[in-house]
Structure 1
Amino acid sequence: MTVEFTADTVHGLAPSDLVREDRVAGRMYTDPQLFELEMTRIYERTWVWVAHESELPKAGSFKSTYVGRQPVIVVKDRKGTVNTLLNRCRHRGASLCEQRTGHANGFTCPYHAWSYGLDGKLRGIPYPDGYEGVLEKSELSLRKLRTESYGGMVFATFADGIEPLADFLGDVKLWIDRFMKQGGGYPVKVLGTHQFRFHGNWKIQLENTTDGYHFPIVHRSWMASVDAETADMMSFMTDPAAITHDLGNGHSVMQMVPEHSDLDVDDGTEPLQARFATLVTELKSAGLDDAAVRKLVRAVHGTGFNLNLFPNVSMSNSFLRVLRPISANETLIEHIAVGPEGPAEIVDPVNRERLRIHEHFQGPFGFGTPDDAEGWDRVQRGAQAAPEMPVLVNRGLARESAGPEGWPTSHVTDETGMRAAYNQWKQMMSDG
């Protein structure tokens, strides 16, 4: 039985009371004051994904991005250390870098030309005579966020005293390791990115990545556009082996194609799809043996799972999806295509196929993303009505149980991943 939040109390409830075992308040999508609390209590107090190491290949390589709504620069210095620097000059507050990616020897403010090293230290000030006796350069370095990485994934946090990244990830590390196996024996690198915005709350998208229930409904046009082998692979709705796990700390994983969860596990009986016949020929002509060809081609579709990392990134099958909250009613999404890095004659044909698959579903003119975004928009519009009416996250609650690893587990169509994220949201929003 579902009990509604009452109209008289929903606006006065503390954040911790907005999440219950089987439902959350619609106010969580629409309340600007709640959004402001999320930016400080969640995005400034936990590990937030900022880059993949392949985006920073050498000293001076940088990427400008955000931690919550705060602009940062992620840059590799000359010692090989990755730094996350607040993108704000210490003089009058101007942003230092407006370029998304690139290479620099340092960063100079365009307003008064204060200049900073790749490590954030203040290096130079024009016309310094006016600062004699009133300024000490060593005290005015750029604010540096604590930065750590695992498996090529770089995270930053404003909270210097929180647990190490490895502890925050916990059992997620196993799944990151598995995701990176889709390089087919080669390291994984970023191939390209594209961004778009939707008119909805960031948590709507956070829910989507481990929502198997919507797939055959929202994505039926995509299912009709692919070959029969791919459609059969993604027909997981009634597969009892297709399951979702709560991995702790708000993280979860949805195994849509369990037999592809660990790409190193291959008994050799699964035939390679006919659509990749040309790719197989190209790889063999590059000198690869049958086993190496099979390893690469079998991984072209990516892994068989979506991994959701609270609060802002998912490692979804074959790409990264990053969300950036703009306001209670707007979110920016970045889709990042990945593929193997290695000899051009081998990885170029593989990455060509991966990009075509990415474009077909995730791309701006693909079948999947526009349909997803329409659903997210509709949730936001509907949430404006009757804010006391709950949003249900109760599917599979009665059949959720602990798996062999101790993870709360249920079917791939169940809302275990959403409950995991909202439990973490509740915990963090309860801390004043």
Structure 2
Amino acid sequence: MTADAEYPTAPDRGALVADDQVAAQVYLDPDIYEEELERIFYRTWNCVGHESEFPEPGSFKTLEIGRRPVIVSRDRKGRINVLLNRCRHRGALLCEKPSGAMTSGFTCPYHSWSYALDGRLRGIPYPEGYPEDIDKSRLGLQRLRVETYAGLVFAHFDEDAAPLHDYLGAARGWIDLFMKQGAGYPLKVQGAFKFRHRANWKIQLENVTDGYHFPLVHRSWMANVDAETAEMLSFMKDPRAVTYGLDNGHSVGIFVPEHVDLGEDDGTEPLQERFASLVADLAPDLPPRDVRRLVRSLHGAGFNLTIFPNLALSMGFIRLLNPVAVDATDNAHIALGYEGGPEGANRERLRIHEHFQGPFGFGTPDDSDVWDRVQRGAVADPGMAILLDRGLNREQTSDEGHPWSHITDETGMRTAYTMWKRLMTDVH
């Protein structure tokens, strides 16, 4: 197809996606957005958080999957549940708190129907208005199917869906590598920065493995960091910096090849001078090998991993997205730290996160602005192509059958749209 291709206005969604481009309609058409909710977000595994956010029974948080509000809670038996945030009586929203702890359950503010942490209906006020044999077991909150991998919690609306293990496919190995940034400690959530940007969700999804934009959009950040950090992220001409398309729309982009496997260290990489005071603080309590492992992990893993459709494991943090409208996306940038690890190391990781991702950081405003510009610019001609052909001429296939090319190429985006087309057309 060419950049001047005519795209259909009829609901032939597959015709909107070619090997090298997509129509701007996929960002703009509210009918496409409605179909995406039904055919993608309500029919695939969505990540809803990390197990460390629910450290004890009674811990919970609320969020949305598409338009559907849910509660994620840990029950008295230690299991994590994902429940529709909707009373079975008259449909009221049960819980509006973003998170909490030590709760015993959830009570509807309308008529006080009460539910346990696992969704079981516990009580109905003034029950004499109902038959004596009312079956409470049939009136519990709707439960989603829940599975976890490496501490990540996923939910699915279909109880009969294929297992999460199969859905993740080759991405499992990359998730395992990402978790090695714990440097011997379990990873924990240290907090989240949440915001909404005025652009379609797929624009952000594309961005995760888009190395092409990084030194251009984030020039101010590159100019503001120390020379060693800037050099670490000077990957534009590094042949080892590549992107792989994985199974089911997932992809991984390698930005810092030396930090892909943080469990491997031959001892030759100098520790950054910016961390000298932290090294001095850690040295009395930890052996040199453990100090090196912690300090090398402060920036996170050396890659960004996209798990279609709503999760990014982005070097040192977790990003969850949720499409709230055709032109609006909610984001949670979740900072990670070391459970039981040195306070100074956790503090340093937070400062690194804030410098790029926080509300006063450099990266989030840069990215949000260009995502917004893509959305506004695409309106100029909804039928004009969004080009995704960078690197197609040099793309190769790995021994495992995965396409790959340089980190500045658009392999990851093409992989995501292959999955998008599959789900939107039921063509496998």
Same fold (TM over 0.5): yes
User: What is the Cα deviation at residue 431 of structure 1?
Assistant: 2.5
SS of the aligned residue for 1:144 comes to coil
Deviation track 1:268-309 (CA, whole Å, cap 9, x = no partner) reads 110000000110011113x10100100000100101000001
User: What is the Cα deviation at residue 133 of structure 1?
Assistant: 5.1
Residues 246 and 409 of structure 1 are in contact (CA less than 8 Å); yes or no, is this contact kept in structure 2? yes
Q: Does 1:394 align with 2:394?
A: no
Match among 371, 379, 390 for residue 384 of structure 1: 379
Residues 26 and 389 of structure 1 are in contact (CA less than 8 Å); yes or no, is this contact kept in structure 2? yes
Stretches of structure 1 lacking an aligned partner (at least 5 in a row): none
Q: Does 1:319 align with 2:317?
A: yes
Deviation track 1:311-339 (CA, whole Å, cap 9, x = no partner) reads 00100000011111010011111100001
Q: Which amino acid aligns with 1:384?
A: V
Q: Which residue does 1:4 correspond to in 2? A: 4
SS of the aligned residue for 1:326 comes to strand
Give me the whole-angstrom Cα distance separating, in 2, the residues matched to 1:217 and 1:135.
Answer: 64
User: What is the Cα deviation at residue 398 of structure 1?
Assistant: 1.3
User: What is the Cα deviation at residue 427 of structure 1?
Assistant: 0.3
Q: Which residue does 2:343 correspond to in 1? A: 348
Q: Which amino acid aligns with 2:282?
A: L
Give me the whole-angstrom Cα distance separating, in 2, the residues matched to 1:254 and 1:121.
Answer: 43
Q: Which amino acid aligns with 2:270?
A: P
User: What is the Cα deviation at residue 403 of structure 1?
Assistant: 2.0
Give me the whole-angstrom Cα distance separating, in 2, the residues matched to 1:53 and 1:33.
Answer: 35
Q: Which residue does 2:419 correspond to in 1? A: 424
User: What is the Cα deviation at residue 404 of structure 1?
Assistant: 3.6
Q: Which amino acid aligns with 2:59?
A: S
Give me the whole-angstrom Cα distance separating, in 2, the residues matched to 1:182 and 1:404.
Answer: 27
- Aligned pairs (5 A) from 1:207-218: 207-218=206-217
Q: Does 1:57 align with 2:55?
A: yes
Q: Which amino acid aligns with 1:150?
A: Y
Residues 10 and 387 of structure 1 are in contact (CA less than 8 Å); yes or no, is this contact kept in structure 2? no
Residues 13 and 424 of structure 2 are in contact (CA less than 8 Å); yes or no, is this contact kept in structure 1? yes
Q: Does 1:410 align with 2:405?
A: yes
Stretches of structure 2 lacking an aligned partner (at least 5 in a row): none
Residues 8 and 15 of structure 2 are in contact (CA less than 8 Å); yes or no, is this contact kept in structure 1? no
Q: Which residue does 2:80 correspond to in 1? A: 82
Give me the whole-angstrom Cα distance separating, in 1, the residues matched to 2:238 and 2:400.
Answer: 21
User: What is the Cα deviation at residue 17 of structure 1?
Assistant: 1.2
- Aligned pairs (5 A) from 1:231-246: 231-246=230-245
Deviation track 1:236-295 (CA, whole Å, cap 9, x = no partner) reads 01111100001110000000011100001111110000000110011113x101001000
Q: Which amino acid aligns with 2:10?
A: G
Q: Which residue does 1:299 correspond to in 2? A: 297
Q: Which residue does 2:197 correspond to in 1? A: 198
TM-score by length of 2: 0.98
User: What is the Cα deviation at residue 194 of structure 1?
Assistant: 1.1
Aligned residue-pair number: 426
Give me the whole-angstrom Cα distance separating, in 1, the residues matched to 2:159 and 2:411.
Answer: 31
Q: Which amino acid aligns with 2:318?
A: L
Q: Which amino acid aligns with 2:342?
A: V
Q: Which amino acid aligns with 1:208?
A: N
Give me the whole-angstrom Cα distance separating, in 1, the residues matched to 2:200 and 2:13.
Answer: 16
Give me the whole-angstrom Cα distance separating, in 1, the residues matched to 2:300 and 2:49.
Answer: 20
SS of the aligned residue for 2:283 comes to helix
Q: Which amino acid aligns with 2:220?
A: S
Residues 61 and 75 of structure 1 are in contact (CA less than 8 Å); yes or no, is this contact kept in structure 2? yes
Deviation track 1:374-408 (CA, whole Å, cap 9, x = no partner) reads 00000000011111100011111111111243321
User: What is the Cα deviation at residue 106 of structure 1?
Assistant: 0.7
Give me the whole-angstrom Cα distance separating, in 2, the residues matched to 1:388 and 1:374.
Answer: 23
Give me the whole-angstrom Cα distance separating, in 1, the residues matched to 2:26 and 2:342.
Answer: 44
Q: Does 1:151 align with 2:146?
A: no
User: What is the Cα deviation at residue 167 of structure 1?
Assistant: 0.4
User: What is the Cα deviation at residue 65 of structure 1?
Assistant: 1.1
User: What is the Cα deviation at residue 3 of structure 1?
Assistant: 4.2
User: What is the Cα deviation at residue 13 of structure 1?
Assistant: 4.6
Q: Which amino acid aligns with 1:201?
A: N
SS of the aligned residue for 1:110 comes to coil
Q: Which residue does 2:247 correspond to in 1? A: 248
Match among 16, 24, 36 for residue 34 of structure 2: 36
Q: Which residue does 1:370 correspond to in 2? A: 365
Residues 3 and 387 of structure 2 are in contact (CA less than 8 Å); yes or no, is this contact kept in structure 1? no
Residues 255 and 304 of structure 1 are in contact (CA less than 8 Å); yes or no, is this contact kept in structure 2? yes
SS of the aligned residue for 1:73 comes to strand
Residues 250 and 308 of structure 2 are in contact (CA less than 8 Å); yes or no, is this contact kept in structure 1? yes
SS of the aligned residue for 1:162 comes to coil
Deviation track 1:403-426 (CA, whole Å, cap 9, x = no partner) reads 243321100000000011110010
Residues 329 and 380 of structure 1 are in contact (CA less than 8 Å); yes or no, is this contact kept in structure 2? yes
Residue identity over aligned pairs, in percent, reads 60
User: What is the Cα deviation at residue 148 of structure 1?
Assistant: 0.2
Q: Which amino acid aligns with 2:227?
A: A
Q: Which amino acid aligns with 1:126?
A: P
Q: Which residue does 1:177 correspond to in 2? A: 176
User: What is the Cα deviation at residue 2 of structure 1?
Assistant: 2.1
Residues 182 and 339 of structure 1 are in contact (CA less than 8 Å); yes or no, is this contact kept in structure 2? no
User: What is the Cα deviation at residue 347 of structure 1?
Assistant: 2.2
Match among 334, 337, 340 for residue 339 of structure 1: 337
- Aligned pairs (5 A) from 1:131-146: 131-132=130-131, 135-146=134-145
Q: Which residue does 1:117 correspond to in 2? A: 116
